[in-house]
């Protein structure tokens, strides 16, 4: 990181910059100021990370791309689907690349699972269970992080579905290589007084006919960040959980249960590339994130980075939020999902 707009307040922004040991001259009070000043520098920024509340995403991404900057945007792409559709055009026309931080797809063993399924290790996928329980919004913890996520003005149309449901959704499609084509949505604001969902239950159908369930929750007291994906084929099964990310369970068709660990011999090239340390030296969330950044660096340099989530993944997430919220609210039953 070489520069940042850390706050609208000059002092706060400078303090933010100091945290990262950046010179105060590169602490800005707005994205426009940042872009203008950095463009004038020979060593100006090449890449922009958008990590604001959702309602600012569209403007920031558009400004970044317009300035020729590569942009890594937090998920969801925007607060609402119409915003996203408008932004999508700008993205597709831009010369600079966009990536979306579906971080969990950066874990070595999530990539290993994907590769194994693609290679037929579990046969035809029949059933997918993806869950993502958290408990931090079971009450109101009074934090800024909670406040903007609970407010439609800053979060957009979705609460839990937009904050973590799209992660679960992306991971399921990423690992299986399948696409959701139909769903049933049951969203609710469990905590009284909330305008946005804090608990989501979705039933899924994939394009090969596989069945699935997606359970995401932010009121599951005691759960930290329990993203877990289980996939069952006609010849095997896989089970991976984010909180124990260096373990991947592989159920063989003949009944054997194998525990695959990050760094094991014989893992796929994708998993190896995403691994920094020898087996038994745990890697975590920051390394997964770094793998997305590394992929993005490749993309920026014009190299191949097929696993990096881009505008298509971003738009599928937005479509999911939009459809799930509406279908649940209107009790529409099973609905087709175009993505």
User: CA–CA distance from 74 to each of 57, 81, 296, 331 (Å)?
Assistant: 8, 15, 14, 30
Q: Left if phi > 0, otherwise alpha if psi is -120 to 50, otherwise beta: which for 102?
A: beta
Contacts 24+ apart (CB under 8 A), 297-300: 299/70, 299/97, 299/99, 300/46, 300/47, 300/70, 300/97
Beta carbon of residue 106, minimum distance to a copy of itself (angstroms, whole number): 12
| Ranges within 152-171 binding a copy of itself (CB under 8 A) | none
Q: Is 302 a binder of a copy of itself (CB under 8 A)? A: no
Beta carbon of residue 208, minimum distance to a copy of itself (angstroms, whole number): 12
Q: Interacting stretch for a copy of itself, rule CB under 8 A, among 87-95, 110-118, 120-128, 146-154?
A: 120-128
Q: Interacting stretch for a copy of itself, rule CB under 8 A, among 1-9, 31-39, 52-60, 207-215?
A: 207-215
Q: Is 331 a binder of a copy of itself (CB under 8 A)? A: yes
Q: Interacting stretch for a copy of itself, rule CB under 8 A, among 46-54, 147-155, 281-289, 318-326?
A: 281-289
**Partners of residue 187 on adjacent β-strands:** 200
Q: Cβ atoms within 10 A of the Cβ of 86, count?
A: 13
Task: Candidates 151, 285, 300, 339: give the one binding a copy of itself (CB under 8 A).
Answer: 285
Identify the CA nearest to 244 among candidates 110, 136, 135: 110
Q: Is 328 a binder of a copy of itself (CB under 8 A)? A: no
Q: Is 23 a binder of a copy of itself (CB under 8 A)? A: no
Q: Interacting stretch for a copy of itself, rule CB under 8 A, among 43-51, 111-119, 129-137, 151-159?
A: 129-137
Number of residues that bind a copy of itself (CB under 8 A): 74
Beta carbon of residue 109, minimum distance to a copy of itself (angstroms, whole number): 12
Which residue lies nearer to a copy of itself by CB, 82 or 139? 139
Q: Determine the longest span between alpha carbons in the chain, in angstroms.
A: 64
Which residue lies nearer to a copy of itself by CB, 18 or 36? 18
Q: Is 114 a binder of a copy of itself (CB under 8 A)? A: no
Task: Candidates 135, 152, 310, 339: give the one binding a copy of itself (CB under 8 A).
Answer: 135
DSSP character string of 12-36: HHHHHHHHTT--GGGEESSHHHHHH
- C-alpha neighbours within 13 Å on the C-beta side of residue 200: 38
Q: Is 280 a binder of a copy of itself (CB under 8 A)? A: yes
Q: Cβ atoms within 10 A of the Cβ of 269, count?
A: 9
Identify the CA nearest to 271 among candidates 288, 256, 289, 286: 288
Q: Is 277 a binder of a copy of itself (CB under 8 A)? A: yes
Q: Provide the token pair at 161.
A: 């579905």
| Ranges within 212-271 binding a copy of itself (CB under 8 A) | 213, 215, 217, 219-226, 230, 232-237, 239, 242-246, 249, 251-261, 263-266
Which residue lies nearer to a copy of itself by CB, 280 or 306? 280
Beta carbon of residue 223, minimum distance to a copy of itself (angstroms, whole number): 7
Which residue lies nearer to a copy of itself by CB, 80 or 218? 218
**Partners of residue 250 on adjacent β-strands:** 238, 258
8 Å CB contact between 167 and 104: yes
**Segment holding 99, helix H or strand E:** strand 98-100
Q: Is 129 a binder of a copy of itself (CB under 8 A)? A: yes
Beta carbon of residue 140, minimum distance to a copy of itself (angstroms, whole number): 12
């Amino acid at each position: 990181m070489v520069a940042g707009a850390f706050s609208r307040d000059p002092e706060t922004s400078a303090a933010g910059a100091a945290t990262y040991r950046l010179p105060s001259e590169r602490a800005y009070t707005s994205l426009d100021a940042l872009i203008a000043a950095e463009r004038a520098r020979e060593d100006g920024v090449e890449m922009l990370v958008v990590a604001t509340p959702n309602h600012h995403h569209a403007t920031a991404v558009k400004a970044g791309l317009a300035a020729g900057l590569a942009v890594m945007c937090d998920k969801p792409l925007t607060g609402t689907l119409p915003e996203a559709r408008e932004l999508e055009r700008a993205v597709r026309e831009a010369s600079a690349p966009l990536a979306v931080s579906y971080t969990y797809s950066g874990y070595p063993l999530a990539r290993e699972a994907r590769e194994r399924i693609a290679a037929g290790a579990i046969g035809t996928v029949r059933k997918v269970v993806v869950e993502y329980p958290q408990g931090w919004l079971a009450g109101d913890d009074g934090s800024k992080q909670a406040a903007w996520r609970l407010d439609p003005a800053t979060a957009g149309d979705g609460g839990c579905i937009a904050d973590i449901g799209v992660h679960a959704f992306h991971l399921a499609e990423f690992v299986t290589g399948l696409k959701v084509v139909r769903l049933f949505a049951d969203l609710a604001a469990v905590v009284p007084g909330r305008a946005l969902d804090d608990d989501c239950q979705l039933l899924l159908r994939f394009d090969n006919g596989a069945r699935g369930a997606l359970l995401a929750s932010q009121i599951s007291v005691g759960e930290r960040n329990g993203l877990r994906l289980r996939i069952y084929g006609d010849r095997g099964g896989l089970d991976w959980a984010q909180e124990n990310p260096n373990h991947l369970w592989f159920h063989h068709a003949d009944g054997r249960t194998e525990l695959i660990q990050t760094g094991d011999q014989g893992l796929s090239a994708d998993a190896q590339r995403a691994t920094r340390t020898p087996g038994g030296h745990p890697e975590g969330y920051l390394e997964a994130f770094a793998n997305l950044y590394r992929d993005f660096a490749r993309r920026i340099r014009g190299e191949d980075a097929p696993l990096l989530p881009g505008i298509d993944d971003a738009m599928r997430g937005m479509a999911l939020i939009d459809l799930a919220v509406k279908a649940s609210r209107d009790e529409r039953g099973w609905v087709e999902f175009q993505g």
